[in-house]
Amino acid sequence: MAQNSLSETSSNSASVWPAILDVIKQNINIRSFNTWFAPVSLVEHNEKQLMLEVPNRFFSEWIENHYNTLLQNAVTQVLGDSKKIVFSVKNNDTAPESPYGAQDWAAPSSKPGTVTTPNNPQAEYVFSTRINERYLFENFIIGDNNKFASAAAQAVGDAPGRTNYNPLIIYGRTGLGKTHLIQAIGNHARQHNPDIKVYYASSETFTSHFISAIQKNKVAEFSAFYRSCDILLIDDIQFFSNKGKTQEEFFHTFNDLHQNGKQIVLTSDRPINELNALEERLISRFKWGLVVDIQPPDFETRLAILRRKCDESELDIPEDVLEYLAVNLVDNVRELEGALTKIMAQVTFTAAEPTIELARGIVTEIARPDQNILNIDTIVQYCAKVFEVSADQIRAKTRKKNIVEARKVAMYLSKELTRHSLVTIGLHFGGRDHSTVIHALESVNERMATEPTYRNKLESMKKHLEYNR
């Protein structure tokens, strides 16, 4: 009987998606439902598949990565069997990718954003930016580590090709926001001039497009496509190293764009004078413009990044959890945001409490600690063992004498054996402020100065930690 009811539902297109949504709504919190499913609509369904329309690619990626099982189960419950689920992006300018970006051979048209190929004037490339629309100046967190790079990027976005910053080269380690910043340039420029032709590619994408063009005898079309850009954004130019033919093609593309007043923006994971396997003629041209760096963010900037992400998701994560992440993930913004995303997923999908313990487990999964560098958690665990208490007791607010003593020693050893600031050390001990750490250090130093046995014990503990890193 139930199967007949399901068949009747599937026969009525208008009722299929609402029925699926009803099932989903029963198995997810309302905030997540309104965020990820309310904006989605069913545009087509048949015996084999359902096509869902989403506002942008980020929606489809998020649903596939986080809600695929939930969605498939809901479809099966309503329609009686599983279907292939495909996504289409609601009217935007991002077309499916093929060689050279979004390539499409079509009849001539006068619409902007097309490139006529020299070998076939009747054929065109349909121009696609390949830019992520989420990368904006407005949601880029500015700190002392990146304020110069951000200001230069905004100047280029305001007046592409019309500043002295051509090319603009931004360098820094992986995960610090270089890709966000250069794509923000493209998005900003397009907001002010929708007809401007912006193209983003990694150096590896440029290389693979070039190789494909050679194989298909379409190098002229390839060159025409890249040299038609008003703004060309190339990520990770260090991967041009030891690729002689690709470097030569990029050299000519660079010259053509620069001579025609077009904007070039590049990123690298190192300063340009360390790109040893790049041709000198390329290096010299890179020096024509402005080279700026992005450094790892300081604690305040890391915390601001996490707060912004919480605001965007409308999830309340306790401040001490955010501070724990900001203290322990210091070198890579991508890892920092990834850790918070994992916490949000646990809270959303399993109703877990967003606690320090949850954060600690996720940081352990993500971080890649150097085995030769001591961390505060290791010191706390060791002190807990020596003083016969638990690590949680050391971090807690309790004032029991033996626990207070263990806490003071752990703070002292953390100061002696790590490079963390007093503020950071305090955060590791239940969010205590730096004045508490100072008091602990003074207390330990006073006892060491007057009690040889105490001093010998702490020196022995210190040596143990140093030798057993």
DSSP string, 350-390: H-----HHHHHHHHHHH----TTS--HHHHHHHHHHHHTS-
Which CATH number is 299-366 given? 1.10.8.60
Residue 216 confidence (pLDDT):
86
Structure tokens at 359: 């954060």
200 three-state secondary structure: strand
Where are the domains positioned within the chain? 2-89, 147-293, 299-366, 376-467
pTM for the full predicted model: 0.56
Which CATH number is 2-89 given? 3.30.300.180
CB 323 within 8 A of CB 423: no
CB 150 within 8 A of CB 293: no
CB 137 within 8 A of CB 192: no
Instruction: Please write down the long-range contacts of 396-405, taking CB distance under 8 Å and 24 or more positions apart.
Output: 396/430, 397/430
Tell the CATH topology of 147-293: Rossmann fold (3.40.50)
CB 118 within 8 A of CB 220: yes
- Local structure of residue 101 (DSSP, 8 states): B
Which CATH number is 376-467 given? 1.10.1750.10
- Local structure of residue 262 (DSSP, 8 states): -
CB 392 within 8 A of CB 425: no
Residues of the chain with pLDDT under 50: 1-11, 92-127, 370-372
Residue 430 confidence (pLDDT):
84
What torsion do the CA atoms of 10, 12, 15, 20 make, to the nearest 10 degrees? 10
Residue 365 confidence (pLDDT):
78
